[in-house]
Amino acid sequence: MFKNKIKSLFAKADIKINGSRPWDIKVNDPRFYDRAAVYGIVGLGDAYVDGWWDCAALDQLFYRFIIADIPANLKYHWTVLLNYLRERIFNLQTIRLSFLVGEQHYDLGNELFKNTLDKKMAYSCGYWKNAKTLDEAQEAKLDLICKKIGLKPGMRVLDIGCGWGSFVKYTAEKYRVRVVGITISKEQVKYVKEICRGLPVEVRLQDYRSLNEKFDRIVSVGMFEHVGYKNYCEYMTVVERCLKDDGLFLLHNFGGKDPAPTLNQPETKWIEKYIFPRMCFPSLGQIISASDGLLIAEDIHNFGAYYDPTLMSWFKNFNKNWPKLKSKYGDRFYRIWKYYLLSGAGGFRSRKYQLWQIVFSKNGVPGGYKSVR
């Protein structure tokens, strides 16, 4: 019924149905057309997970999709509109609900992430300016953060959303600082305690909203996407409350040009369904607005283009190590994870999505902040 419509729409992005190029789509089940037409970008992803279509280079496909604005031209299903209204009306990232993303995603198993990420287990965009490998890019990112916030021995540092401890371990060892890391993942807590044994590192299973203690420096790397737009001001209030008067705060997160929640990022809805429940892409304006009256933005650095090689490296690792994971996770999970990593790479390659590192102070840096790149 919808075959010609879908073929015509995809042709606008130079994507052929059953074509021979790496970014062309091979249809395995003709129900694919109806599902994509009726359920939009979420239906397209669901059909891939179910094996109804394949593509040799999903990253190239999504790059072309997004450049040509195909996701926005696919019909919105009523469930997408309903979820949008829920985001507008309700706070979907309360303290109780915040732990669900830990259970559903970050607790999938440390072996999965060990076989996907770099050796330091950093689950955020690397800094590829002078790097040739994923390990180099992630270490360069950690070093860049430390330089931007001017770490010195003896400082007390907070990492909001510490993940698998890449930052807390690196700074405790290299800069001899005392670090507190908080996370909403039980598996991450166990892992960080193990790798940081003997170091001045404390890791807690804790929501950021319950924090009320002072730190010389605060960082948050790849966590703000889970805060939710209704909580942005509260998040910044917590940071201001916990940061010493002469302290610095670095926020590392991805987002887009449209304020959340939005219907202008339909391709993110599949990611919310399968990967990061209740994920929210903030705009730069929303972040700065939430800090008004609380913090001063000293430096804004965009290196979102580096998420493309980061995600491609993650997929390369995951794909190479899949034989070790297959018995636990199964073929359907493989298709979900592949679609997630490669569609993300194509999205960041299109430059529709951004990655910012923003350095904040409480009262302004005397003489001016010295930018580090």
Percentage of residues in the chain having pLDDT higher than 70:
91
Which of 120-124, 151-155, 179-183, 277-281 is least confident? 277-281
Q: What is the mean pLDDT of residues 242-254?
A: 98
Of 184, 284, 193, 185, the C-alpha closest to 232 is 284
pLDDT at 278: 75
User: What confidence category does residue 287 fall into, taking pLDDT thresholds of 50, 70 and 90?
Assistant: very high
Give the Cα-Cα-Cα angle 174, 248, 130 (nearest 5 degrees). Answer: 50
pLDDT at 282: 94
Alpha carbons 129 and 141: distance in angstroms, whole number: 10
pLDDT at 272: 87
Residue 240 pLDDT more than 90?
yes
Q: What is the mean pLDDT of residues 254-269?
A: 76
DSSP code of residue 106: I
Please name the residue that has the structure tokens 């042709």: 11
pLDDT at 265: 67
Largest Cα span, the chain = 67
Q: What is the mean pLDDT of residues 289-307?
A: 98
Alpha carbons 101 and 207: distance in angstroms, whole number: 12
Residue 96 pLDDT more than 80?
no
Alpha carbons 34 and 303: distance in angstroms, whole number: 38
Q: Which domains does the chain have, with CATH numbers?
A: 3-75 (no CATH), 95-361 (3.40.50.150)
pLDDT at 276: 87
Question: What strands lie across the sheet with 156-160, from one edge to the other?
Answer: 201-205, 178-183, 156-160, 215-221, 243-256, 353-361, 296-302
Query: What pLDDT, in 10s, does the model give residues 338-361?
Result: 999 999 999 999 999 999 999 999
Higher-confidence position of 178 and 1: 178
Q: Tokens in use for 320?
A: 């190479």
Which of 59-73, 137-151, 334-348 is least confident? 59-73
pLDDT at 76: 55
pLDDT at 88: 58
Q: What is the mean pLDDT of residues 4-25?
A: 96
Which of 37-46, 93-102, 117-126, 218-227 is least confident? 93-102
Strands 353-361 vs 243-256: parallel, antiparallel or unpaired = antiparallel
pLDDT at 92: 57
118 CB-near residues (< 8 Å, 6+ apart): 126, 134, 135, 137, 138, 313
Q: Tokens in use for 371?
A: 């930018």
User: What confidence category does residue 79 fall into, taking pLDDT thresholds of 50, 70 and 90?
Assistant: low
Residue 155 pLDDT more than 70?
yes
Higher-confidence position of 139 and 37: 139
pLDDT at 259: 83
pLDDT at 280: 86
pLDDT at 74: 78
Q: What is the mean pLDDT of residues 195-209?
A: 97
Alpha carbons 181 and 161: distance in angstroms, whole number: 7
User: What confidence category does residue 47 fall into, taking pLDDT thresholds of 50, 70 and 90?
Assistant: very high
Of 148, 189, 192, the C-alpha closest to 170 is 192
Residue 301 pLDDT more than 70?
yes
Higher-confidence position of 120 and 100: 120
Report the mean per-residue pLDDT for the chain: 92
Q: What is the mean pLDDT of residues 52-63?
A: 98
Q: Tokens in use for 129?
A: 């300016």
Alpha carbons 64 and 60: distance in angstroms, whole number: 6
Alpha carbons 248 and 67: distance in angstroms, whole number: 37
